[in-house]
Amino acid sequence: MTDVAVDVSGEMDPPLIVQQKGVLPSFLKIPSELPDPKEWISHQRQNVRSWLLFVQTSNFKVPPSIPRVGKRIMRNIEYFQANYLFVFLGLIVYCLITSPLILIALAGTFYAGYRLNKRNQEKKLIIFGRELTIAQQYGLVTACSLPVYYLVGAHGAMFWVIGASCVIITLHAAFYNIETIIAKEEDSYALLEEV
C-alpha cells in the first residue's frame, strides 16, 4: 500500500451566514413603504383561497415528524395568508358583537373624530394660543378615549382576539397537509404546459 498525503489545512471558523435576497417568505418581508389601504384590501381579497379547500377535513393530517411541523406551518401561512387574515377579522367582529360596551366606545370615538373633522373645516381649534392640526386633534381624541377603552375591557378583548387567532391559525397551519395541494397544483400546471 502506498501512503497518500491528505491536505487538511484550511479555514476552521464556520462560514458567515449570508442572507440571500428573496429567501424570506412573502409574509415576513418588511415593506419599504405603506401600501394604499384600499389597494391592499383588494389585493388580499383576490388572494383568498377557496374556503372549501381551507376547511376540507380530508387534508388534515398529523405531521410525520417534529422538524416538518415548522416547514408545514410556514408553507401554510404563506399559502393561506389572506384566509388567515379574514379569520382574524372574523374574530374581531365576533368580539365586538359580544361586547356591546366596546362597540359603543368605538362608535363614540369615531363620532368625536367625525365632529372634529367637520369643525376643522369650519373653524380651526386653538388651545393655549396655539392652533392644533387635525392629526393632533385626532391624537387628543385617541388619548382621551384610552381610559374609556380600559374601563369597558377593550384590553382583555384585544388579547383574547390575538390569543385566539394565534391558536386557531397555528393549529390549522400545523395539521393542514399543504403538500398534497401544492402537488395537485404542480400537476395541473404540467398538464397545461403539455397542451
Q: Are 104 and 148 members of one domain?
A: yes
Residue 25 lies in a domain: no
Q: Report residue 17's pLDDT band, with 50, 70 and 90 as the boundaries.
A: very low
Q: Are 129 and 145 members of one domain?
A: yes
Residue 53 lies in a domain: no
Q: Are 88 and 169 members of one domain?
A: yes
Report pTM. 0.67
Q: Is the pLDDT of residue 176 over 80?
A: yes
Most confident of 37-51, 117-131, 148-162: 148-162
Mean pLDDT of 137-144: 88
156 versus 192: which is more confidently predicted?
Answer: 156
User: Which residue range forms the structural domain that includes residue 164?
Assistant: 76-98+154-195
Check residue 46 and give its pLDDT.
82
Query: Each residue of 28-85: pLDDT tens digit?
Result: 666 667 777 788 778 888 888 888 888 888 888 888 888 888 888 998 888 898 999 9
Mean pLDDT of 138-143: 89
Q: Are 111 and 187 members of one domain?
A: no
Check residue 151 and give its pLDDT.
93
Residue 90 lies in a domain: yes
Residue 19 lies in a domain: no
Check residue 191 and give its pLDDT.
52
Q: Is the pLDDT of residue 121 over 60?
A: yes
Alpha carbon 106 to its chain's center: 22
68 versus 3: which is more confidently predicted?
Answer: 68
Q: Are 166 and 82 members of one domain?
A: yes
Domain count, the chain: 2
